[in-house]
Amino acid sequence: MTPLLSLDSIDCAHKDGEPALLSGISLSLHAGECHCISGATGAGKSTLLLLAAGLGGVLCQGQICVQSGVTRALVLQDPHTQLLRRTIGAEVAFSLENLGIEPSQMPVKVRRALQRVGLDLPFGTQVATLSLGQKYRLMIAAQLVSEPGVLMLDEPWAQLDDEGVRSLTALLMKLKAEGMALLLVEHHADAFAELIDHYWTLKAGRLTASEIATQAEPQPCFIPSTAFFQSPNAEVRLTSPGFTLQHSQGEALFESPALEVNAGELVLLCGTNGCGKSSLLSMLAGCGDATGLPVSVMGKTPELGTFGYNLCYLMQRPNRQLFEMTVEAELSYSLKRYGLPQERGARVMNSLQIAGLAQHSPHRLSYGQQHLIALASLVCLEPKVFLLDDPFAGLDSVHSQLVVNLLQQLRARGCTLIIATHRPMALAQSQTWHIRNQRLEVEYVGQT
Amino acid sequence: MWARRKISVVESQPGQWCGTAIILVTVMSACAFLLSDSALPLLALANLPMLIQGSRLGSLKGILVVFALQLLMTSLFYLLLYGWQSLPQAALVVFRLLLALIPGWWLSARFAPEQLGSSLARVLPSKWAFVLAATLSLLPHIQREAMEIYRLQCLRGAPITKRALRNPKNWLELGPCLLFPLLIELMKLSRQQALAAKSRHFGTHPKPTHWQAPEDL
Amino acid sequence: MTKRFEFSLQDALFIGLCATLLVALKGMLRLKLGISGHTMLLMSFMYLTCYGVVGRLGSITLCGTLAGLVAMALGVGKGGPMILLKFALPALAMDVALLLVMAWPLKWRFCVLVVSAAIAWAGKVWLTNMLAGMAIEVALIKFAISVAQGTGFGLLGAALAFALAKRLQAHDLLKMNIKE
């Protein structure tokens, strides 16, 4: 059987003279097959996917063959930067417009694509009001409308909560049964195990096949540290008699019971996408839209600039904060501003084994390295309270474990850590805050 | 996840009226400069409904401040150069400028940005129409990014909090701390959007068509 | 549009995003300095940065035109068709001036572009005032004040754009060579 898409001996480099990013890559996709490529952060998985989709901007040798009449569709990572229109009808029709399809023929095709992904809503539905899982399906509908033979997805696991992954798997199973070839790039291949026929690993630019799923990414491992928070003299870092957190538009996100968190505690904040985790962390850091709530952090009402270096907040995509010319300067910036010892920067770099990058531009490094540097620039402040929003997103197990090691050092010094994540994890936490059904529920772990 | 979200639906808007309004506003603004003094009261009368509707939809404050500042500055110059007797002439000049401003102000109060954007996009080449529509729809995202980067940097100790910015010495910090990371984000965003558009066949057909919600057909 | 002025979709989107950011910053900051001309600070900064990153003749005019259209759509600066000229004219003047000083060092190139933008920006005010029937002496005084204020603020914006361009080049994110 002729493959729908085949890559034959592909060699790639970003620039002439640079070492090869991909070397001797060969891959064939047949109708009704699902292939999954795994690999470490920065291994070149996304580059390979772009090449397979015919959108690669890198120097390349080799051959890419597409069966006549077969179109390729690619769903990239972040839905927020890929959705181009305001309403779902216009969003799905975008491909049809570009193919010059008559406007009178569009509604039927758009409706069919929306039905295929289970998003049978009115055409005028605003994209902004959809949940992240629905936006992801909308992106797939926007590709299905042009009836592709091959569908490629870049790391869907990181974007979706467990419910989103389940519904996406069901949808992909249906498409596969209809004869579509699927190509996934995914760290967490195990999440889509029922779907995948062929597993591949990309390492050092080479693609190697494996008969079974590569071992699931090990979860980062925290060592329990209870010395601080279980002491009767433990300092109270966060306290509240209970509150209702609202959107800036006034819509209630969730109700919270009384909260108390001590020095050295690790709180895991869990909930599905959009449940209000980030809003809660922003409120605690004093930089959210919600103000005037009965919450006390280190004895003060949260307000931007109140806590100085005692409170740090790692937002999602922390590489956004990088601006200095070198990694060393990036770490020194906050230390200088707060008048703290400069040698802390070097110490943190050594413990992360990135001292060799000290004079590099942060913007020339990989995503994982940028993530670590942004985190290191906060860790060296040695805060008393550290809020982290999805700190493991997009990181492979090696980088994740480095993040954990850094946090472990902080916790050992009595720092209170509050980590938000859309999946429950075993991080040796002292409390787990679950946000479900618009309520925050507190679960005390390992305490009598 | 499905039930929790309040889904809002946009009713299809008649786009032609918006296009006509843009032409009307351009003509009326031009009339403020071109008509004779004697015809100005008629033009003012035509502006009156716009003023009433615009003040109901938005605030009059901005346009009144511009009018007051213009009147003050122009009257001062006329007074210094030509004496008291020239003040009515100064008032007439400022009145003309006000009549030129009112239609544009009404247009932005009366129509939503996306309606104006799509009407303006009709006269642009398809690539630039797409760019205009995409960037307009990305505006909330850009504002959110700017605000988040600002907060990130404040928490890192950058002297750009409202209080710190009272000292002009700290204004320069806005460049490297806020604008530089924001520009890098815009670069990434433009790359991702270009990829997203190309993955949906953008630029493959010489004459792309336009989606019309079924109500418009 | 001829091939010479064809921009890649990525560059076109970056130009559009710069234009939107310019209008958003103008709307967000609402600089209440009580002095006219402060828009020139943002305008020169954004136009010159856009030129630095895209590195092509015509990018400033496109950025200015799109900023005018976005401002018109969003109702920034009282909205209406007049705002289009306010953003587009200085941008066009910058591109025209760029034709003459293309080979100059970047610092001096930026200065010339700012002065030409300030003249165009003040020229629009002058033309509007003349059409409204203002006495020529008053219109000229206002024009001179506008040029001075526009140049002052514009040079501040250019200094900021130059510093950022150097930083972008250090990170290998600039298409144009600063030392060229």
Between chains, do A125 and B145 touch, taking CB under 8 Å as contact? no
CA–CA gap between residue B54 and residue B110 (Å, rounded): 7
Q: Which of B7-16, B115-124, C24-33, C48-57 comes out lowest in average pLDDT?
A: B7-16
pLDDT on residue B130 = 85
Residue A442's pLDDT is 92
Three-state DSSP state, A171: helix
Q: What are phi and psi of B135, to 5 degrees?
A: -70, -35
In a domain, B3, yes or no: no
Q: How close B108 comes to chain A (CA, Å)?
A: 19
Q: Where are the domains of chain C?
A: 9-170
Q: How many CB atoms lie within 10 A of CB B195?
A: 21
In this complex, which of A103, A251, A322 lies closest to B212 when CB atoms are compared? A103
Domain that holds residue B96: 13-207
Q: Is the pLDDT of residue C2 over 60?
A: no
Chain A contact set for C170 (CB, 8 A) = 325, 361
Name the band, by pLDDT with cuts 50, 70 and 90, for residue B14: very low
Q: pLDDT for B79-106, tens place per residue?
A: 887 788 888 888 888 888 888 888 888 8
**Record: contact C167-A325, CB cut-off 8 A:** yes
| AA letter at A306 | T
pLDDT at position B76: 86
3-state per-residue secondary structure call for chain C: CCHHHCCCHHHHHHHHHHHHHHHHHHHHHCCCCCCCCHHHHHHHHHHHHHHHHHCCCCHHHHHHHHHHHHHHHHCHHHCCHHHHHHHHHHHHHHHHHHHHHCCCCHHHHHHHHHHHHHHHHHHHHHHHHHHCCCCHHHHHHHHHHHHHHHHHHHHHHHHHHHHHHHHHHHCCCCCCCCCC
CB-count exposure of residue B67 (10 Å: 0-12, 13-18, 19+): middle
The pLDDT of B123-142, averaged and rounded, is 82
The confidence band for A256, taking pLDDT boundaries of 50, 70 and 90, is very high
Question: Which of A25-29, A208-212, A228-232 shows the lowest mean pLDDT across its residues?
Answer: A228-232
Average pLDDT of the residues of chain A: 84
Q: Subunits touching A (CB < 8 Å, at least 3 pairs)?
A: B, C
Does the distance separating the beta carbons of A323 and C167 come in below 8 Å? Answer: yes
Is A85 in Cβ contact with B137 (below 8 Å)?
A: yes
Closest chain C residue by Cα to residue A324? C167
Residue of chain B nearest C138, judged by CA positions: B77
Query: Is B157's CB within 8 Å of A134's CB?
Result: no
What are the tokens at B154?
A: 């404040």
Sheet containing strand A259-262, strands side by side: A259-262, A236-240, A296-297
Using a CB-CB cut-off of 8 Å, the residues of chain B touching C80 are 25, 29, 101, 103-105, 107-108
B2 domain-assigned: no
CB contact under 8 Å between C172 and A323, yes or no, is no
**Domain total for chain B?**
1
**Cα nearest neighbour of A323 on chain C:** C167
Instruction: Give the whole-angstrom CA distance, residue B18 versus residue A410.
Output: 59
* Contact check, Cβ <8 Å, A361/C167: no
The answer as to whether B20 is a domain residue is yes
Chains that touch C (3 or more CB pairs under 8 A): A, B
DSSP letter for A148, please.
-
Phi-psi domain of B116 (left: phi exceeds 0; alpha: psi -120 through 50; beta: other): alpha
Q: What is the pLDDT of residue A310?
A: 93
> Is the model's pLDDT at B113 over the cut of 90?
no
Distance from CA of C26 to the nearest CA of B (A): 12
Q: Residues 6 or more apart from A77 whose CB is under 8 A from it?
A: A46, A154, A155, A158, A159
Q: Which of B32, B104, B190 sits opposite C17 (nearest CB)?
A: B190
pLDDT score of C91 more than 90: yes
Q: How far apart are the first and last CA of chain C?
A: 27
Q: Is the pLDDT of residue A309 over 50?
A: yes
Specify the pLDDT at position B4: 43
In a domain, B4, yes or no: no
C167/A364 Cβ within 8 A? no
A207-214 long-range contacts, Cβ below 8 Å, gap at least 24?
A: A207/A22, A207/A25, A207/A26, A207/A27, A207/A37, A207/A48, A213/A189, A214/A38, A214/A189
The full DSSP string for A66-131 is E-TT--EEEE-S-HHHH--SSBHHHHHHHHHHHTT--GGGHHHHHHHHHHHTT----TTBBGGGS-
